[in-house]
């Protein structure tokens, strides 16, 4: 049985809490939050606290707080034999300012507070200073999930910036498509099958092989025509991405 303490009460913390409470090999012994009332609903299932003085001895402390607070929060965990990990995609393992062994437990997904998640489908990216700690994190990860990867800090940073492209920037492309449709009274749902197909394709093809369209074909007539249909801000994006596709 792995004794786990979660520090934080945001989206990642609350989804991890749900998952660990269901995992038979994990004992979620405590949850810390700065404001006790924010986690009061959990007091029937675990110990809750708002004081670092009351932190119990655990095998793993999971710091799931905003990136900027990781360093300070980690420095306040009382010294013992436990392993301290953060859950950030962009911060180095050594952001942790504690005398404990250090690691990272990064679930790569975009969490919303109200939307249930299935950890079986979420990649859990692990890092640790020592092999024995890595083994412990793997055991903990397999207790709630299936897609477990060893990813070091440098790789994780790159993964995080990749995620901005394939998630945030992709969503912005959807937003522009939505705006254009709305302006001309075309239901956005007309584009949904194409969106699904675009995403499905890269399960079986490298994205570069899946590329189609006027930029790829160097169809200058269509590109020029498209530019006349867009506003200035949309034109800038259209030109920048078209140029990038043409450069391969």
SS (H, E, C) 175-190: HHHHHHHHHCCCCHHH
Given the complex with a second copy, which of 36 and 181 has the nearer CB atom?
Answer: 181
Instruction: Map the footprint of a second copy across residues 24-43, applying CB under 8 A.
Output: none
DSSP at 191:
G
Query: Could you tell me the smallest distance in angstroms from the CB atom of residue 225 to a second copy?
Result: 7
70 contacts: CB under 8 Å, gap ≥ 6: 63, 86, 88, 91, 95, 96
Query: Could you tell me the smallest distance in angstroms from the CB atom of residue 138 to a second copy?
Result: 16
- Residue 236 in the binding site for a second copy (CB under 8 A): yes
Give the C-alpha separation, 135 to 158, whole Å: 24
Instruction: Map the footprint of a second copy across residues 165-194, applying CB under 8 A.
Output: 165-178, 180-181, 183-187, 190-194
Phi, psi (deg, nearest 5) at residue 110: -95, 105
Given the complex with a second copy, which of 56 and 237 has the nearer CB atom?
Answer: 237
Instruction: Map the footprint of a second copy across residues 130-149, applying CB under 8 A.
Output: 147, 149
Given the complex with a second copy, which of 53 and 185 has the nearer CB atom?
Answer: 185
Residue ranges with strand state E in the chain: 2-7, 26-32, 47-49, 60-63, 83-86, 101-107, 124-128, 148-150
Alpha carbon distance, N-terminus to C-terminus of the chain: 51
Using DSSP bridges, classify how beta strands 60-63 and 2-7 pair: parallel, antiparallel or unpaired.
Answer: parallel
Given the complex with a second copy, which of 134 and 237 has the nearer CB atom?
Answer: 237
Instruction: Map the footprint of a second copy across residues 42-61, applying CB under 8 A.
Output: none
**Number of residues this chain uses to bind a second copy (CB under 8 A):** 82
Provide the 10 A C-beta neighbour count for residue 72.
10
- Residue 161 in the binding site for a second copy (CB under 8 A): yes
Given the complex with a second copy, which of 75 and 222 has the nearer CB atom?
Answer: 222
Q: Kindly tell me which residue out of 41, 75, 110, 218 binds a second copy, with binding defined by CB under 8 A.
A: 110
Task: Mark 67-106 with x for binding to a second copy (rule: CB under 8 A) and - for no binding.
Answer: xx---------------------x----------------
Provide the 10 A C-beta neighbour count for residue 71.
16
Instruction: Map the footprint of a second copy across residues 190-219, applying CB under 8 A.
Output: 190-199, 201-203, 206-208, 210-216
Instruction: Map the footprint of a second copy across residues 6-25, applying CB under 8 A.
Output: none
Phi, psi (deg, nearest 5) at residue 30: -165, 150
């Amino acid at each position: 049985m792995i004794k786990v303490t979660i520090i934080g009460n945001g989206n990642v913390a609350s989804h991890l809490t749900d998952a660990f409470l269901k995992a038979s090999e994990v004992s979620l012994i405590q949850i810390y939050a700065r404001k006790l009332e924010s986690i009061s609903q959990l007091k029937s299932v675990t110990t809750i606290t708002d004081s670092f003085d009351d932190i119990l001895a655990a095998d793993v402390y999971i710091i799931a707080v905003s990136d900027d607070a990781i360093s300070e929060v980690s420095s306040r965990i009382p010294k013992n034999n436990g392993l301290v990990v953060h859950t950030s995609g962009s911060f180095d393992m050594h952001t942790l300012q504690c005398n404990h062994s250090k690691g990272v437990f990064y679930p790569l997904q975009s969490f919303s507070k109200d939307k249930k998640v299935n950890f079986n489908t979420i990649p859990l990216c692990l890092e640790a200073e020592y092999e024995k700690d890595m083994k412990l994190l793997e055991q903990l990860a397999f207790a709630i999930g299936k897609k477990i990867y060893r990813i070091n800090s440098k790789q994780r940073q790159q993964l995080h910036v990749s995620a901005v492209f394939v998630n945030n920037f992709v969503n912005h492309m959807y937003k522009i498509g939505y705006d254009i449709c709305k302006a001309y009274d075309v239901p956005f749902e007309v584009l949904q099958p194409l969106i699904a197909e675009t995403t499905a394709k890269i399960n079986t093809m490298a994205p570069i092989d899946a590329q189609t369209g006027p930029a790829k074909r160097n169809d200058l007539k269509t590109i020029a025509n498209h530019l006349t249909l867009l506003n200035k801000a949309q034109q800038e994006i259209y030109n920048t991405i078209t140029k990038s596709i043409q450069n391969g």
